[in-house]
Structure 1
Amino acid sequence: MADHLGPWEPETPAEVREHLAKVDVPWWIAGGYAIEFAVGTPFRTHADIDILLLRRDQLAAQAALPGWEWWAADPPGTLRPWESGETLPPHVHDIWCRPTADAPWRLQFMLDEADGDDWVSRRDPGIRRPIDAIGRTGPGGIPYLAPEIQLMYKAGNIRPKDQQDFDAMLPHLDPEERQWLRTAITAAYGTRPWLEQL
């Protein structure tokens, strides 16, 4: 999507932590980095970096990076400017941003739902957990998304890098995490190849 709008030069998780140090809402490193943190060692390259925010906290991202350029990924694959102070509609889940119009893309924010004190999966509202139980703490105190939740999202459209993440993470999942992931994948998608290995 939007290759014509320029290349990616993603920030590191440590740079994200610096940018969001004063944000007073929860956030988590997501995507491949979340799996890498859980595995405990780097095992592949990363073309971008994902940060999960609750939808209700979306404007905190804009406040943390004033002056940056923000674009909303409007399904099925169009980037459009995200205006300052605009509340994005429920069907928009991804936001790309960069310091200036001629800079590479640096960050991708992903929006997930919440209901009171619960995180709610956008794949199936029946999949939920307490917000304070969806994250872990990585190197340097960087918060990251629990790997079983990240794998649940990756199971929807398994690309080579998703398979690589699953294969690396599988030996590290404890029985409770495996059970949660089996249940969540089944609820969200029905059958998926990973179920046989869980």
Structure 2
Amino acid sequence: MSEQLPNGGIELSPSEVDALPARWSSCWTPGEVAQQLAGIGTPWYVAAGWALDLFRGRQTRIHGDIEIAIPAASFPEVRHRFPGYVFDAAGGGRIWEDAAPEVLAAVHQTWLREPATGNYLLDVFREPHDGDIWICRRDEKIRLPYSDIIHHTQDGIPYLAPELVLLFKAKHARRKDQRDFDATVPHMTRAQHETLAELLARVHPGHPWLTEL
């Protein structure tokens, strides 16, 4: 059973963690997210595995969820785009339902929940930044303008540059991450290869992917 935490969060039991994928079964597609955020003033982008599919121009595998990222300070603007839904904070096997501001400051993942069903539709990463400059949460010395890291599909859906998506995937390098790496690298430019190699050497020195770049 889940355990209630003093700060209002819930620590999930192993069975509840195992059941989470079912709660993501109705998650949105990148196009549906883009419709919800059409015309918003803050920069945002699709992240993780979906971003690599957008880069390659087609869906290559089933995605268990969908993640987007925004500047942390812009979260209220994004939150207002989803009336009738609830944002839960998540991290470390814990969930804080309809999270208070002090909880949001402590974790970076925010799950959009449909109250009527309990299903999760979208994972919003609230990322560190300095104005219009994106700051990598793995190494705060890596700072890049949002205009440099956000690419767009032909129909205007923003997604994170593939070299940065793979940098984040490199930490765990699960089976699906290795497949994403293998499928994406052949489509990247020489400059993107070099950027990924430089970032990997800095954040994950000695990483096996370095020999393949």
- When normalised by structure 1's length, the TM-score is 0.91
Measure the CA separation in 1 of the matches of 2:171 and 2:154. 28
Q: In 2, Cα distance between the equivalents of 1:179 and 1:56?
A: 31
CA distance in 1, matches of 2:82, 2:119: 15
Partner Cα separation in structure 1 for residue 76 and residue 98 of structure 2: 11
**Which is bigger in relative contact order (C-alpha 8 A, separation at least 6)?**
1
* Contact 2:89 2:99 (C-alpha < 8 Å) held by counterparts: no
Q: Which runs of 5+ in 1 are unaligned?
A: none
Give distance in 2, aligned partners of 1:121 and 1:168: 24
Matches within 5 A, 1:103-142: 103-142=118-157
Question: 1:46 pairs with 50, 63, 72, which one?
Answer: 63
Q: Render the CA deviation track for 1:24-67: whole Å, top value 9, x for unaligned.
A: 11110111111011112221111100111111212222111022
Q: Is the 8 A contact 1:117 1:131 kept in 2?
A: yes
Q: Which residue is equivalent to 1:159?
A: 174
User: Which whole-Å CA distance do the structure 2 matches of 1:139 and 1:73 have between them?
Assistant: 33
Residues 139 and 12 (structure 1), Cα distance of their counterparts in 2 relative to 1, 3 Å cut: farther
Query: Counterpart of 1:50 in structure 2: which amino acid?
Result: E
Select which of 14, 23, 28 maps to 1:7. Answer: 23
- Distance, in Å, in 2 between the alignment partners of 1:81 and 1:191 is 39
CA distance in 1, matches of 2:98, 2:171: 26
8 Å CA contact retained: 2:72, 2:126: yes
1:92-107 to 2 correspondences below 5 Å: 92-107=107-122
State the AA in 2 paired with 1:140: D
Amino acid at match of 1:82: D
Alignment partner, residue 147 of structure 1: 162
1:91-110 per-residue CA deviation (whole Å, 9 max, x = no partner) reads 41111112215242110111
Distance 2:58 2:87 in 1: 31
Residue 69 of structure 1 contacts residue 101 of structure 1 at CA under 8 Å; is this kept in 2? no
- Cα distance between partner residues in 1 of 2:75 and 2:81: 11
Match of 1:77 in 2: 93
CA RMSD of aligned residues (A): 1.8
- Is 1:23 aligned to residue 40 of structure 2? yes
* CA-CA distance at 1:82 after TM superposition: 3.5
Deviates more, 1:144-153 or 1:186-195: 186-195
When residues 3 and 58 of structure 1 are mapped into structure 2, their CA distance, relative to the original with a 3 A threshold, is: farther
2:179 is equivalent to residue 187 of structure 1: no
The aligned length equals 195
- Residues 161 and 21 of structure 1, relative CA distance in 2, 3 Å threshold: same
Structure 1 residues 4 and 41, CA gap change in structure 2 (3 angstroms): closer
Alpha carbons 2:111, 2:122 under 8 Å: kept = yes
Is this contact kept in 2: 1:10–1:107, CA < 8 A? yes
SS of residue matched to 2:73: helix
Alpha-carbon shift at residue 153 of structure 1 (Å): 0.4
